[in-house]
Amino acid sequence: MKRQIPNIITLLNVLCGCIAIVFAVRNDLELAALFVFAGIFFDFFDGLAARVLKVQSELGLQLDSLADMITSGVVPGIVMFQLLKMSSAGGWNLELGTGSASTLSHATSDLSVLPFFGFLITLASAYRLAKFNIDENQVSSFVGLPTPANALLIFSLPLILLYHNNDFLNGIILNQWFLIPMTLLSAYLLNSKIELFALKFKNWSFRDNAIRYVFIGVCLVSIGTMKFLAIPFIIVFYVASSLVNGLRTKK
């Protein structure tokens, strides 16, 4: 039974991804984000549970990638599809409820070909996960942006629209000439050769994990001060600090 605990946690990630797909297809991106965040939470703790219980297995590795494909691959593609659909239809509408913003409205115009470009993110995620499964070097670090981090980046866009409600930001995010490069950037980062550090602690020493502790501190401060605008900033900081750390290590 102990060997199945990490697999059960991974399957909870799959369940969250399936529910998120339903809400994303309905254009209820707020609830879709909630279940994606829950799925990413389970994705972090399944590996941790496997290491603590010392029950790592090839089955767990494959199952983890399949779960990531659903939660962090399919769902972000649908989200970008919906954003591109709204950008081409001018269908953004924000209705204020009692104390919180309601979900995104449905675009009403005829569907064009452009929104399907968003599924490039899903294709790039599948390719990235397939490479990860056969790469034995990605143990203490990643090559290319991990799919959960990319999912957070994509989901930050509708959440910024919902919770910041700034005309300037809305105009940028719902511009197809912003969304198309963002889709291309996402696909590139997923499969780039950039080596990124992993949040895996072999011990709690600050000397051995300085970059991880600094990163966690920056994340907490950014989220506390910038809310959902912090997510793109954190991803940029993650990539930049990994590049600096890589250069320092080589020297």
Which among 173, 152, 16 has a CA at the least distance from the CA of 84?
Answer: 173
Name the residue type at position 96. Answer: L
Q: Is residue 102 part of a domain?
A: no
Model confidence at 175, pLDDT cuts 50, 70, 90, reads: very high
Q: Is residue 101 part of a domain?
A: no
Phi, psi of 28 (to 5 degrees): -95, 75
Mean pLDDT of 200-226: 85
Q: Is residue 136 part of a domain?
A: no
Which pLDDT belongs to residue 121? 98
Helix (H, G, I), strand (E, B) or coil at 88: helix
Say if residue 116 is in the same domain as residue 230: no
CA–CA gap between residue 29 and residue 240 (Å, rounded): 29
CA–CA gap between residue 140 and residue 244 (Å, rounded): 17
Q: Is residue 103 part of a domain?
A: no
Which pLDDT belongs to residue 111? 67
Model confidence at 96, pLDDT cuts 50, 70, 90, reads: very low
251 pLDDT more than 70: no
Say if residue 173 is in the same domain as residue 204: no
Say if residue 60 is in the same domain as residue 4: yes
Name the residue type at position 209. Answer: N
pLDDT-wise least confident of 130-144, 147-161, 233-247:
130-144
Report the number of distinct structural domains present in the chain. 2
Q: Domain containing 238: what range?
A: 196-251
Say if residue 77 is in the same domain as residue 1: yes
Mean pLDDT of 247-251: 70
pLDDT digits (tens, 9 = 90+) for 77-93: 999 999 999 998 765 54
Q: Is residue 99 part of a domain?
A: no
Name the residue type at position 79. Answer: V
Residue with tokens 């501190």: 217
CATH of the domain at 42: 1.20.120.1760
Q: Is residue 137 part of a domain?
A: no
Say if residue 57 is in the same domain as residue 161: yes
pLDDT digits (tens, 9 = 90+) for 205-216: 777 788 889 999
